[in-house]
Structure 1
Amino acid sequence: MKIKLAILDKDKSYLNRIVTVFEVKYADKFEVYSFTDLSVAIQTLSEVKIDVLIANDAFDVDVAKLPKRCGFAYFVDSPDIDMLNNQRTICKFQKADLIYKQIISIYSENAGNITGLKISDDSCKLIAFTSPCGGTGNSTMAAACALHFAGQGKKTLYLNLEKYGSSDSFFSAEGQFDMSDIIFALKSKKANLSLKLESSVKQDNSGVYFYSQTKVALDMLELSADDILHLISELKLTGSYDYIVLDMEFELDKGYLDIYRKINSIIVVGDGSEISNLKIFRGYNAIVTKEQESDSSIANRIVLMYNKFSNKSSRALDDIELKSIGGAPRYEHATTRQVLSQLSNLSVFDDIASV
């Protein structure tokens, strides 16, 4: 089903132009309705179940009276206006594809309240690396996975979401923006978040895209589960990447479970030690229990990968339904870059892509 989009503007010339563009470029995405009269537009919202209303800022729209299912934003003339009357804004004088992406973002934020088209970009795969135990090299594995796909010519983003993690430990490039700028854009609910994401991303010589670490570690503590969900959705909607590799905390609250549901493959990293196996066993069973309580599907997308596995001190985890896809041994006397290079050659990452 198509998204039902209503555009309200007194400028008939502009209205005709943008409607024509949407009907030509996005005929498979939008069913467009145009209005110059507020009362007529409001009456139509309920009659045809409009999904998103974009209104020129010349109109005084009582958002509280809009149907719950209807997303809303103001059309404004300047890209410097981020919010108006506590509502999102979209600059009307920019490329149609940027307006399109912002409308899609508004729609996706209201997806829980509406029926119809589900927004997803199956061409972009989300792969998350996480672990309930420390010291297993979870971040190194995630970075190696990103390096592996980039080496195959796939456009890959490595996104470090750990509270005290750092993409700069693995990748480097010039640029003045970092993850703090992304968090600020998320928190201030800037309508041009997609532009901020595009302008802040860096590319390592390996081809991997990444966002540099925050200016101070405390900035990452401001990033809530809802913020992460919004960020992931926005990144997918840009259509810029084949793979987004997430390096993230192992959490089991509702917010993180909602994040897990959006991910194609969840890789739990362990080292085969007694403590590691116990924590993974307990963590996985906790997810299974949470899954049963919420009637969701997460466990079937989780696989176990070993890192720093030693024939002397490690053993495979038994008596658990969690599938293992192999891993890597411990590399002695090697730098981070050397370990990363070795790990990136693992064929197991190709298995992850097909999970």
Structure 2
Amino acid sequence: MRIQLVILDTDHEYLRRLSAHLAELYPGRIDVHAYSDLEGAIAGIAAVRAHAVLVGAAFDVSPSDLPARCAFGRLTDSPTVASIDGVPAVARYTKTSEFFRQVIDLVSSASGSVEIRKRTSGKAPRLIVTTSAAGGSGTTSLAAALARSLAMQPTPVNVLYLDLDPTSDAGATLETAGADGPTMSDVIYAIKRRRGDIDSQLMSVMRRDAYGVHHFAATRDPADILDLTADDRAILLERLTSNSSIDVVILDIPFTAVVAQWSVLEHAHRVLLVARADGQGSLRTERARRILERLDATHESSVVPRTSLLRTRLDPRGPAPADVSSLPTLLTLPDLGDAEGQVVDQIYASGALHPVVSMVLA
């Protein structure tokens, strides 16, 4: 999904800085084509098949001058101005994230079926589900480290880390907490509203950490996540796993939620079941496997063959307990501590997730 934005304005320095900021914050998601002359802009709109056009006050342009389904907006110096002569207004001097959100809203309101350019591979994103039959297994740290490992491949992978645990904070896990801007609450609103171009709305809410991992900031109110019904979650995952700008979606979700919505696992490329490498962890994993087998039989699906076990927090001073689960163990990680952010850093730096990365990309 790559938006083609044409901006026509007389302020060359503003156009240069805005283009640079958008390219830095939203690589691969928006192309800015800046013009300071009307003739060049009109030619550019046709050449790039613009999705949206923003015009400064010095130029006399109307929506009728543009191709059908091309969104049109006016640049304004005031963030309180919503429209100018009936044309939507976009604030010129605002945070880059807010400017981007306004562009997304403009494109979305123009048409619910605006055709966004897709990447040339045409492949649908792969859904990787990470879950655990018991808390404290390190599922969130592993999922975040896997997302980072994918994003930092020699050929970068566009990866989205999606945390649907009501008590988790993706921003804290990825060390982007505290930043202003849209949150998962806006995602929930867009999904429940079901209006306009949902893909573009979701894209406008995504953030990117220092390693290139896309994610949604935690909801403003932790209870907001409870507003997502089973249908809402299905629509959210369907939209994300058909988004042409994403290669892999890493879904971090509690096991009870997975069981309650089996379609999530049915559409997963791989399921990673995380368990502590001790006797209790093995017993819980075996019970989880039996539940998955029963549900596979009920739904006539094949989730268990696509499920692998990741074992964590093995005490290096003692022998490994017997693994009573028949699920294939993809890797076992040693105890790396309790501070979540540091654990993510250590797992990523260790390179231990290479087998998982290879499996995801195979």
Q: TM-score of the superposition, structure 1-length normalised? A: 0.64
Q: Provide closer, same or farther for how the CA distance between residues 93 and 222 of structure 1 changes in structure 2, counting only shifts above 3 A.
A: closer
SS of the equivalent of 1:251 reads helix
Unaligned 5+ runs, structure 1: 1-77, 80-89, 102-120
Read off the aligned partner of 2:359 and give its amino acid letter: I
What percent identity do the matched residue pairs reach?
Answer: 23
Paired residue for 1:23?
none
Q: Provide closer, same or farther for how the CA distance between residues 317 and 143 of structure 1 changes in structure 2, counting only shifts above 3 A.
A: farther
Output aligned runs, 1:275-354, within 5 Å: 275-312=280-317, 315=320, 318-332=323-337, 335-344=339-348, 345-346=351-352, 347-353=354-360
Q: Cα RMSD (Å) of the superposition?
A: 3.1
SS of the equivalent of 1:221 reads helix
Paired residue for 1:36?
none
Contact between 2:144 and 2:161, CA under 8 Å: does it hold in 1? yes
Runs of 4+ that moved beyond 6 A:
none
Q: Is 1:137 paired with 2:142?
A: no
Contact between 2:279 and 2:322, CA under 8 Å: does it hold in 1? no
Contact between 1:274 and 1:314, CA under 8 Å: does it hold in 2? no
Q: Which one of the candidate residues 106, 115, 122 is aligned to 1:97?
A: 115
**C-alpha separation in 2, matches of 1:319 and 1:95:** 51
Contact between 1:260 and 1:266, CA under 8 Å: does it hold in 2? yes
Q: Is 1:216 paired with 2:221?
A: yes
Contact between 1:327 and 1:348, CA under 8 Å: does it hold in 2? no
Q: Is 1:158 paired with 2:161?
A: yes
SS of the equivalent of 2:137 reads coil
Name the stretch that deviates more: 305-314 or 144-153.
Answer: 305-314
- Deviation (angstroms), 1:124: 1.5
- Deviation (angstroms), 1:292: 1.0
Contact between 2:286 and 2:326, CA under 8 Å: does it hold in 1? no
- Deviation (angstroms), 1:354: 5.1
Paired residue for 1:271?
276
Contact between 1:252 and 1:287, CA under 8 Å: does it hold in 2? no
**C-alpha separation in 2, matches of 1:224 and 1:242:** 26
Read off the aligned partner of 1:136 and give its amino acid letter: S
Q: TM-score of the superposition, structure 2-length normalised? A: 0.63
**C-alpha separation in 1, matches of 2:245 and 2:258:** 30
Q: Which one of the candidate residues 240, 243, 248 is aligned to 1:238?
A: 243
Name the stretch that deviates more: 245-254 or 310-319.
Answer: 310-319
- Deviation (angstroms), 1:220: 1.0
Paired residue for 2:204?
199
Paired residue for 1:74?
none
Unaligned 5+ runs, structure 2: 1-86, 89-107
Number of paired residues?
252
